Structures are given as C-alpha cells and as structure tokens.
Structure 1
Amino acid sequence: MSVLIVGGGIGGLTTAVALHQVGITAHVYERAPELREVGAGFTIWSNAMKGLREIGLEKQALARGAELKRFHTLSPKGNVIDTEEMESIYRTADATSICIHRADLQQILADALPSEQIQTGKECVGVEQQAESVTLSFSDGTRAEGEIVIGADGINSAVRASLFGTETLRYAGYYCYRAIAKTNELPADEAIFGMAKGVQLGFFPFGRESQTYWFVCPNAPIVRGTNESRFDHKTFLSSIANPLPSHLGHIIRNTPTEDLIIGNVFDRPPRSTWGLGRVTLLGDAIHPTTPNLGQGACMAIEDGIVLADSIRRADNHITALRQYEQKRKRRTAMITRQSWRIGKIYQYENPLLVHLRTLTFRLPIAGWIGRKTQQRLLSSTLPKL
C-alpha cells in the first residue's frame, strides 16, 4: 500500500509513525524547505500522551517536555483564585500532561521515521483522483502517486481546498501573542492561567532549561493582530503585565519584540464531510479549533492513531477512510464547539460579567465542573496499535 501524507507537522508525522508501526509505508511531503524550529510551546494533554505511548514515543516526549502537575488561576487583579492539583485527573486518564516546544515534538516524530519517508520543499498545488490511485502535484513540477492521500497541511489546507473549494475561516474576535521567554521564574511543574477584561493569558514551564512559554490573547478587530505595523505591541503588553505578580510581569516585559509570535485566532465550524474517495483530512486541515482547551495538536495526534488503525484493519482503502472519519467526527466537533464557547467566557469585556466570572471561579463547584470537564477530555480511549 502506498500512502501519501501532505504536511509534516504534528498530525502528519504522527500518522506516518503510526502507519510505520503497523507495517505500512507512508511518504510525507512538507512545503517548508526543512523541518526547522518554528512556533512556540503547546500542551500535550493526557489523551494525546496516550497516543504517543501507542507509537512508542511517550518517554521521549516526557524527557523533552515539562510535566504539568498544578494549575493556578488568577483574577483580573493578579490574585490566585483557584488551584487545581492534576494528580487525580492524570490517574483517571492513565497518563500525565506536558508542555513542550512544537519543534521538539516534531523532531521526536521525524526521528522515528526513515529519513527517506520525509521530503521537504514540496508544496502541494493539486490533487487528482483516478479509479485506483491519487496523484499529487507540487509547485516544483514533480508529482507523486499513491493509493491514499491524507491532508494534514493545516488550517489553510491545499488538500481541503482541492476537495471542497475555498471556505471562509471564522475569526474568534481575539488574537494571540505567543513567546518563549529566556527565564525560569516559574516552578518546574506549575502553570498559571489568568483572565481580565477582554484578555486571557497563560504561563507554562518548558521542557527546555531556563525558558518559559507564555501567551496573551486580547480582543481586537482582525486587522490589529498581524497587519498593523504601527501598533506598539510592547506598550500594550506592558499594560497587560501591570496587575500581574512581579515575576510574571517581568516575563512579559523582558521578552524582546522580535521574539513575539502574533497571530489571529480562527477556527472552522464542524464539517459533516471530511473526505472524498481516496482522500481524507486530519488535524487543523479539517477541524481547526481555538486554543482555549489546548487540544489542537492533541486532536491531530488522536486522528493519526485512529486513522492508522482504520487503514490496517479495513480490506478496502476507501472504506478505511470513511470509517476513520466516522469515528472522529463527534469528538472533534464537541471539542471545537466547547473551545469556542469557553473562549467567549474567557474574553468577557462587560465589567459585570467579568466580576461574575471571577466570583464563579472562586466557588468549589467551579473546580468540580472543571475537573469533570478535564476528565472527559483526557480519558479518551484510543485503539491499540
């Protein structure tokens, strides 16, 4: 069997490694000239750690990431209003959670594949289906033919566009600053999350020594996030940092402007059709989600495990793809919708709603609901490979 994967990110590489583990060769085509260090940190929650376990990479991820044992929630004034110990949740989920640099996890996955199975500098510009095969066309004039094509090429997926045409992204109403700060002022296993008027923020320990991953998501029209070069981002971020405890404010203020990654936050409403014929999609290519549950990369990892299992079990390639899609639609749609709704709460601007939100987070019932939500997200069951 010949499987072609468009996209060498977390989802595409996870799928290739999972297929490799069950004896199926997949070739990965990545548009970037190399698998270079881009992006910032993200959380790999227990549900995705179990996916990495299935492909034999959980220990490597643990070694490169920082385990998250405790979460603190801050009020708009910078005071701790809730602390969540994660041990019982992880015990129920049967795995821990980590924060890791995207590039580190990408390298772990790439190293698990024979080097000849990954080709860089391959921008997909066309997908043509025949009765018994699929052909990819690349911007350099080359082509590749296989029996299955998997589009794992992100939120602006060329494979998705080849199937369904141009579809509009949904702007969440806020953008995001992300950065890696060269400081280790946080405890090694504690994360901090905060909400104020029209903004949410977070600080995470990082697998890399003496570094902290942080983000700030403020409400704004879409243009302000990335296109307005006249906007003074450092002054704005300093105003966000002012109410915070001094060590957290220091992290934001001392991050150089050139180290900031600024991006608008988009998703797409869940789609009923994921693929056609010998082509399917996974990860952000089909279910991009807002970052409020930290499940974007986790969903891509889950997709890869389920897809590999479906391909190895089915006698018919097309049947395998439709079975995978059916297995994944409900869970990914639930997470996309829930993340969107939670984001609206996190980004409240109305002073009364902000005050009520703070009061709610102080209540024991809020912690109970949070734990139940986390358990539902993290205790998913994946197939054994």
Structure 2
Amino acid sequence: MDAEYNSVASNIVNTAQDGFMFEDGDALSALFVFDNQAINTIGRELSDVDNFETYTVCIGDPTFAQFTGTYLEYVRDSSWLDAEEQHKQLCRVAELFTALLSASQGPWLIPVMRPLTLALCQSAQRTFESTHDPAAFAQAASVLLRLLIDLLADNGGPLEQSKRVGCLFVAGLLLRISLRTSAAPGAYASKALEVKNLWGSSVFSQRDRVSYSYWLGRYYLVCYYVDSARSQLEYAFNGCPAWHMRNKRAVLRYLFVANMIRGQLAHPALLEKYQMEPVYAELAWHFRKGNLAMFQQVLIANMEFFRSQGNFLILMERTEILIYRNVLMRSSALNSRSELGRAMPYRDVLAAFQLSSQNYSMDYAEMESILASLVAQKFVLGFLFHHQKLVNLAKKSPFPPISSVGVAINSQ
C-alpha cells in the first residue's frame, strides 16, 4: 500500500487521461518525458508509490492504462536500476506504446513517439557501454522495426493524415541502431529502406530528411554501396544548417571516406573549417602522393578511432589498389619524358611499388597481379606484355577519373 496519497502520480494520470480522451498528442508529449534530469526530478516525487494501478484505474482504455503505469514505474525506478534493467523497462514502455499506436487512428500520437524512440536508442547505447553486450541494440532494433511496420501499414489516406508522417524519423533511428547490432545491418534495415519512396514528400521536415539521409548514407557505406553512400551523405552535409558545426563534422567524416574511395579528396581548407581530426589530412596527403606504407601506418595508428565509426576496414581494403594507381600515374608522368613514352618497363613499376609499400620483397609476379587488377577494373587503360615485361598505357586518358569507373556497388 502507498504510504500516503501521491498528488504527483494522481495529477499525471488525470492529465494523461484528458490528453488521451481529446487525442492531444502535444499535451501527452509534454507529460511523458524522457529527459534524464526531468525523470530524476519526477522519480523522486513518485518514490513512495508502490502500486500505480490504484491511480491508473480511472483510465478507461486498458492499453493506455498499462502504458501509463509502466511509464511511471520506469520513472520511479530509473535512479536505482542499472543500465541493463533500465533499458529492459524502457523497451517494455516502447512495446506498450507500439500496441497503443497500432490501435489508434491518425497521427496524433506521433509527438509522443519521437522522444520515446530517441530515448530508446540512447538507452541502448548506454547499456552497451556498461555491459559491452550488443543485445541491447538488438532489443531496441526489434521494437523500432515493429513500430515502423505499423506506421507504414497506415496507408489508407493522405500521408499528412496518417501515421506514416512518423516513419522517416523511426526509419532513421532503425538504420542508426542496426549498424550496432551483432546481426548484419540488413537484417533490421530492410524495412527502413522502404521509406526512400516517401523521402521526398514535403510533409517531412528538413531535419528528418537530413537525419534519414545521414544514417542511410552510413548504412550504404557499410554495405560498400559507395556511390549511393556519397549521394546520401552529400545531401545530409549540404542540408545540415551551417551553424551546426558538430553535425556537419559528423557527416563529413563519412563523406570523406566515400569520396576518397571514388577518387575525390577533401580540400585542406574544408577539413580545417570543420576542425576535422588531423588524421584526415594525413590520409589525404599520403593517398594523393601514392605513399601506401605511410597511409596504412597512419590508419593503423588510428585504428580504434576508425573502428568506432565502422570505417577502418573499408579504408584499409578499398584504398590500396587506388594508391597503387596513383603510384603508377606519377611514375608514368616521369616516364613520358623518356623515349619509351607510354611503355613502362616492369622493373620501373616494381621499384615504384616497392618504394610505395615499403615491401622490398615484392617480386614481378606480385607486381604484375596488381597491374592486372588495375587494368581489369579499368582504373588503368592499357595492356600488359608478360614476356617483354612491359606495360603499354593507352595513348588517350590511360588514367580515367576514378569516379567514372563503375566499380562501386550501387544499391537497388
């Protein structure tokens, strides 16, 4: 039994009942808050309540009554629960909200959904930092997936009058959290990709479109859909307000990687403007100069930084062949002044590749396989003459722009 009647619990329940009856989502969003400071303040006022059913009994809708009671329990207990238990309880709140939203008509509950789903993602991150167990991300992703399915199912009327007005926000969060699950991103993200068909509608705010494009770009980059990643990340970068330096810098970190793989390097002034970490300028310098050994040395020295962003492997795997191309292009420029012209002896290419990679045990067979890969992928236009030990470069544009070479996998 309660030690005494709790006026705060009573006021919250009565206000919630009024907001639900009049379908006032804005009023409910002001009531069901998920800010840590607000939760701690309200939680102290509710600490003496043992059973919230004695307060929610006045609510006519049983699902809303259960949602309200579970939310109040979450607020009351948050200050002493560990991160894992707190996340489980918040997942329960979100599951009840999903059931509530499924039974409602129209988009009036969307204002409540936005802070709840964002808090769910933030809770999953805190739980992972505490436990190092990605299960929290999987829990959150499952809830978001069920919620997104329900939102997209409401397609009986105009977009602005349906629950689909919330789908872009939830899809962005689902993409965000799917990147952190132990399963492949596509296991959760496939439903979020359906929202691309609605992305251009003016019903969605610029903020939601930019956020969705950012997370979609990151998803494409992880899947090696490089051209699609560039397109989405460029939109996010250009659409992000100029004053929001932190967000523009976050987008630029991934846009830098996608552009580098397609042969476009960020200008030093751009990196300086957004106060990018010095490692980006170092990588760009070594990439441009064809210095493979130093590029990989800098990358490995900053492995944890790039791994935390999910960019380490793509930088390590996709840049090596491009740097060898730059080495060959620079060597060709020197060789063009000789009488051999476009025909480069293998010995010169081998010396250049050995110097770039600092791998002086590289032999002709390994060097020729690199050349064959460059030609096969059309990074270099020319012919290899194995017996004569020559590479004969095309007379016209032997080094086409990387961005024009169709090697990047595109999304469907």
Compute the TM-score of the two structures, normalised by the length of structure 1. Answer: 0.24
**Larger relative contact order, structure 1 or 2 (CA cutoff 8 Å, min sep 6):** 1
The normalised TM-score by structure 2 is 0.23
Please say which structure displays the higher CA radius of gyration: 2
Greater share of residues in strand: 1
Higher percent of residues as helix: 2
